[in-house]
């Protein structure tokens, strides 16, 4: 087997990057003219450099803003708070950007078998591994150049070189952690569990759960920090060391280390923080290395794991007569697909994340009409976007639906039902639970009303977007204009509903919701 030289490796990575770009442009802009597509691919290198520059600049500017404000503003802002905020922001940004950019690369590599043509070339295993690695992480490399720059700037602004060193180390640790999670999830996706047995279903459910959990992990941690930080401050007194030791946990430690090292001399705490940063860096690298090995095996030889041997069927059973309707067909199919493909599973879990946020508010105070209206407004704006995402997720499979005689209004209603039912499945039990706990039915009434309005808004938004799809559509494009139109539709439903709710309370909310939903169904069925 041939061993690649460095310049050949870089040339091959460049070719693969152009291929990635071409495939992603083809997927997202199927209507792009061939000459424009060729031009875009020809300028791949310039595009990469520009993207890298803006990503790196965006991460650094966002992360450094608290420190810049603290050191330049005339107002008294404590450097400790600024350092802590900057550290946390940087960790979050580095992690999120790396995860997203790497996920994009691995997605293209997997979906289109980017590395498969290379396996027939006379290349060594190590070369192939290196190419797979560089292809997976090349988009995230701009983030990887930020830790030394961020570290140097922290050292300069805080006048503490060791603080800068710790910040840089945590920057790399965050990057490695994000790459590790992204690669591990890509490997997880490469293995499809086939079959209908309980074991196969359980395996699929576990895979989806892990994916969604990992996707939401950082969101959950950052949200939790909002509640945890004041709580920890209260607990520091009675619990002492136990509470303080939480600062050693990543990602809180990333915010605290520069702070502990910002003093003029390296104390015991500072030394510990530095050692901890090194330990996290080692750990993150080990995790990344392991994840890459899994990814390598998954991406080169994607496997379908059948967890059972096919049993001869006695007969095929038709679905229930009640479900033999096009709208229900779309609903059932989308529920199954969204659940089985972890990349769209978040659409089913997103309402849960939203609804959890209102629980503490309702439990702390009695149901405030203003708070509920604000929350419901958010749901009414978010759910139509989710329903439209389901249309985008349809990809190039519209032919299968339209060639069977599906009408666009049926498609729109089916998609709207998916997102609305996913919301209702959490909203109604949570509303019922809160009603039992607080003794007031207002919350349940508000949530039920918001479900109806969200359905009406989703159905109208998907009907609008469905106008732009046909059997030949390769992928629906969510352009800025269409995005704004969908937002406009959502507001058109949300504003009157919110006004009536605030004016007449839960009963008014229900009446307004029933009116909006009824009117929408009437208009949609008439067209």
Residue 340 CB, shortest distance to other proteins, in Å, is: 4
- 201 lies in the site for other proteins, by CB under 8 A: no
* Binding test (CB under 8 A) with other proteins, winner from 124, 319, 433, 518: 319
Nearer residue to other proteins within complex by CB, 45 or 325? 325
Nearer residue to other proteins within complex by CB, 233 or 323? 323
Stretch that binds other proteins, among 122-130, 243-251, 292-300, 326-334 (CB under 8 A): 326-334
Nearer residue to other proteins within complex by CB, 323 or 368? 323
* Binding test (CB under 8 A) with other proteins, winner from 53, 219, 227, 399: 399
- 402 lies in the site for other proteins, by CB under 8 A: yes
Q: Which strand (E) or helix (H) includes residue 238? A: helix 198-239
How many Å apart are CA 523 and CA 508, to the nearest integer?
22
How many Å apart are CA 103 and CA 185, to the nearest integer?
9
Residue 283 CB, shortest distance to other proteins, in Å, is: 34
Q: Where are the alpha helices (DSSP H) in 319-368?
A: 326-340, 342-356, 358-364
Nearer residue to other proteins within complex by CB, 265 or 320? 320
Give, as one character, the DSSP assignment of residue 248: G
- 328 lies in the site for other proteins, by CB under 8 A: yes
Interacting residues of 440 by C-beta distance below 8 A, sequence separation 6+:
366, 367
Residue 221 CB, shortest distance to other proteins, in Å, is: 29
Judging by beta carbons within 10 Å of its beta carbon (0-12, 13-18, 19+), is residue 428 exposed, middle or buried? middle
Residue 204 CB, shortest distance to other proteins, in Å, is: 9
- 312 lies in the site for other proteins, by CB under 8 A: yes
Query: Hey, what are 9's tokens?
Result: 């490796």
- 336 lies in the site for other proteins, by CB under 8 A: yes
For residue 391, CA distances in Å to 238, 349, 458, 465 come to 53, 18, 11, 8
Give, as one character, the DSSP assignment of residue 121: S
Number of residues that bind other proteins (CB under 8 A): 45
For residue 41, CA distances in Å to 35, 106, 283 come to 10, 19, 38
- 472 lies in the site for other proteins, by CB under 8 A: yes
Residue 93 CB, shortest distance to other proteins, in Å, is: 33
* Binding test (CB under 8 A) with other proteins, winner from 26, 47, 201, 340: 340
What is the CB neighbour count within 10 angstroms for residue 23?
A: 15
- 332 lies in the site for other proteins, by CB under 8 A: yes
Residue 33 CB, shortest distance to other proteins, in Å, is: 8
Interacting residues of 341 by C-beta distance below 8 A, sequence separation 6+:
393
Residue 410 CB, shortest distance to other proteins, in Å, is: 8
What is the CB neighbour count within 10 angstroms for residue 183?
A: 30
Nearer residue to other proteins within complex by CB, 9 or 194? 194
- 198 lies in the site for other proteins, by CB under 8 A: no
Nearer residue to other proteins within complex by CB, 188 or 448? 188
- H, E, C per residue of 416-474: HHHHHHHHHHHHHHHHHHHHHHHCCCHHHHHHHHHHHHHHHHHHHHHHHHHCCCCCCCC
Nearer residue to other proteins within complex by CB, 54 or 399? 399
- 195 lies in the site for other proteins, by CB under 8 A: yes
Size (the chain), residues:
527
Q: Which of 445, 423, 424, 450 is nearest to 434 (CA)?
A: 445
Nearer residue to other proteins within complex by CB, 219 or 399? 399
Apex 284 CA angle, 89 and 99, nearest 5: 55
* Binding test (CB under 8 A) with other proteins, winner from 210, 246, 341, 441: 341
- 31 lies in the site for other proteins, by CB under 8 A: no
Binding mask 404-443 for other proteins (x = CB under 8 A): xxxx--x---------------------------------
Query: Hey, what are 353's tokens?
Result: 């994340």
* Binding test (CB under 8 A) with other proteins, winner from 32, 279, 337, 523: 337
- 301 lies in the site for other proteins, by CB under 8 A: no
Q: Which of 22, 112, 104, 30 is nearest to 475 (CA)?
A: 30
Q: Are 342 and 208 spatial neighbours (Cβ–Cβ below 8 Å)?
A: yes
Residue 210 CB, shortest distance to other proteins, in Å, is: 17
Stretch that binds other proteins, among 120-128, 165-173, 255-263, 393-401 (CB under 8 A): 393-401
For residue 33, CA distances in Å to 38, 392, 436 come to 9, 21, 59
Nearer residue to other proteins within complex by CB, 136 or 475? 475
Residue 113 CB, shortest distance to other proteins, in Å, is: 13
Residues 234-293 that bind other proteins (CB under 8 A): none
How many Å apart are CA 21 and CA 13, to the nearest integer?
12
305: phi then psi, degrees, rounded to nearest 5: -95, 115
What is the CB neighbour count within 10 angstroms for residue 454?
A: 32
- 392 lies in the site for other proteins, by CB under 8 A: no
Interface with other proteins (CB under 8 A)? 192, 194-196, 304, 306, 310, 312-313, 315-321, 323-326, 328-330, 332-333, 336-337, 340-341, 395-397, 399-407, 410, 470-472
């Amino acid at each position: 087997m041939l061993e690649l030289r460095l310049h050949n490796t870089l040339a091959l990575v460049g070719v693969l990057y152009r291929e990635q770009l071409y495939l992603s442009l083809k997927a997202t802009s199927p209507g792009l003219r061939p000459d424009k597509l060729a031009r875009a691919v020809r300028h791949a290198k310039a595009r990469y450099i520009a993207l890298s520059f803006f990503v790196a600049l965006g991460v650094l500017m966002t992360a450094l803003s608290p420190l810049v404000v603290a050191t330049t503003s005339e107002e008294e802002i404590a450097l400790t708070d600024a350092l802590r905020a900057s550290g946390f922001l940087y960790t979050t940004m580095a992690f999120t950007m790396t995860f997203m950019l790497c996920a994009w690369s691995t997605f293209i590599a997997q979906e289109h078998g980017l590395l498969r043509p290379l396996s027939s070339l006379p290349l060594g295993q190590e070369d192939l591994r290196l190419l797979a690695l560089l292809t997976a992480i090349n988009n995230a490399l701009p983030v990887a150049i930020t830790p030394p720059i961020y570290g140097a700037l922290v050292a300069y602004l805080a006048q503490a070189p060791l603080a800068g060193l710790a910040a840089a180390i945590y920057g790399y640790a965050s990057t490695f952690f994000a790459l590790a999670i992204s690669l591990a999830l890509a490997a997880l996706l490469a293995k499809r569990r086939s079959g209908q047995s309980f074991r196969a279903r359980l395996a699929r459910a576990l895979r989806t759960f892990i994916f969604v959990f990992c996707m939401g992990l950082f969101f959950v941690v950052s949200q939790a920090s909002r509640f945890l930080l004041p709580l920890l401050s209260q607990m520091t007194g009675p619990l002492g060391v136990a509470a303080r030791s939480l600062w050693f946990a990543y990602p809180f430690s990333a915010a605290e280390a520069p702070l502990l090292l910002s003093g003029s001399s390296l104390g015991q705490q500072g030394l510990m923080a530095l050692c901890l940063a090194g330990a996290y860096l080692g750990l993150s690298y080990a995790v990344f290395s392991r994840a890459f090995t899994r990814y390598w095996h998954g991406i080169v030889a994607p496997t379908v794991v059948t967890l059972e041997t096919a049993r001869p069927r006695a007969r095929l059973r038709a679905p229930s007569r009640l479900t033999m309707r096009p709208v229900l067909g779309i609903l059932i199919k989308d529920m199954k697909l969204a659940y089985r493909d972890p990349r769209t599973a978040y659409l089913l879990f997103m309402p849960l994340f939203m609804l959890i946020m209102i629980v503490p508010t309702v439990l702390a105070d009695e149901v405030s009409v203003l708070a509920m209206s604000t929350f419901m407004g958010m749901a009414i704006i978010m759910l139509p976007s989710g329903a439209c995402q389901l249309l985008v997720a349809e990809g190039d499979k519209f032919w299968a639906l339209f060639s069977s005689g599906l009408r666009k209004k049926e498609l729109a209603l089916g998609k709207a039902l998916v997102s609305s039912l996913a919301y209702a499945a959490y909203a109604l039990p949570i509303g019922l639970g809160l009603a039992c706990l607080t003794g007031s039915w207002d919350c349940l009434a508000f949530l039920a009303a918001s479900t109806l309005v969200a359905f009406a808004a989703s159905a109208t938004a998907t009907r609008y977007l469905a106008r732009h799809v046909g059997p030949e559509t390769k992928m629906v494009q969510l352009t800025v204009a269409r995005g704004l139109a969908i937002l406009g539709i959502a507001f058109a439903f949300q504003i009157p509903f919110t006004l009536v709710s605030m004016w007449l309370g839960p009963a008014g909310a229900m009446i307004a919701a029933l009116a909006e939903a009824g009117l929408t169904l009437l208009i949609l069925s008439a067209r």
